[in-house]
Structure 1
Amino acid sequence: MQVEDLNKLTFLTMCMKESMRLHGPVPAISRTTTEDTVIDGIPIPKDTYLMIHLYAVNHNPDVWGPDHMEFDPSRFHPDRIKGMDSHAFIPFSAGPRNCIGQNLTLNEEKVLLARLLHKFTFELDPAHPVEKDLPTVMKAKDGMWMKVKASKTAG
């Protein structure tokens, strides 16, 4: 796989973004206001500590619709995201304190997933249900038990 091939993985990118929307790597961030401001008509004084619940932002039914808990990669089709508010989907934070490693992380994930999905099929072990654990970075409480089989198309 060449670096220029990463931009051709449109459906994989859509799936990755929808996965991060549903199961974001960071459930919340905090900020302190540096000046008096107004958010949705509510005055917020300087030096106010704010907690931004990214999980709620990425599951907002006003943005994502009544099926906001369903996995639907088409939400991130290039034609659909053109008019989307840049803060409607923020798995890595946003603004001046946005994750500087975001693009590297996404590209590494694309390479890894493309190679693994080409060679194997994955199936969750139904005997070990996945439970979310929401500390600083979201993870599966007891891991994700998987059954992995070599793909019939693997070369």
Structure 2
Amino acid sequence: MATNLKNLSDFSHITVGSAVDLHITIVVAQWNAQVTAPLLEGAYNYLLKQGALEENIQVVQVPGSYELSSGADIVLRNKQIDAVICIGCVIQGDTPHFTFICDAVANGVTNVSLKYNKPVIFGVLTTNTLEQALERAGGKHGNKGEEAAVTAIQMAHISNSIKA
């Protein structure tokens, strides 16, 4: 089935697990707020649905997607948590800026995860248009914020089980 016809946020085929004992921080970009706000809401609400306690979910706002890596680094340097979800949105423009930002954010998120040996989840939309971004922020393609929360829960469980 073509992705343009499908809700991509279907988790019916997997077991996600409980978030009851998890401490998760969501670092969210303020830039493109009409997209990042529903992504944040999707991630936050999904964590609650899976049993996370409100006091165990921290939300940290950063100016833009470029600052997500730094925000995750600051959080992990100063707090013991199970996973970080980075939420942002970069929309293609007329200059190569899009490519540089997307590359820097993807590498930065990966590097922070490896530096702290903690799951740092890439919940950043990289789309050609605002319409495509909105379709993935609660529109016809689901909510990528929810998908990031699913990934955070699963990776936190993997990380914690291997440490145990």
TM-score of the two chains, using structure 1 as the length reference:
0.29
Greater C-alpha radius of gyration: 1
Task: Answer 1 or 2: higher relative contact order, Cα 8 Å, separation at least 6.
Answer: 2
| Structure whose residues are more often helix by fraction | 2
Q: TM-score, normalised by structure 2?
A: 0.28
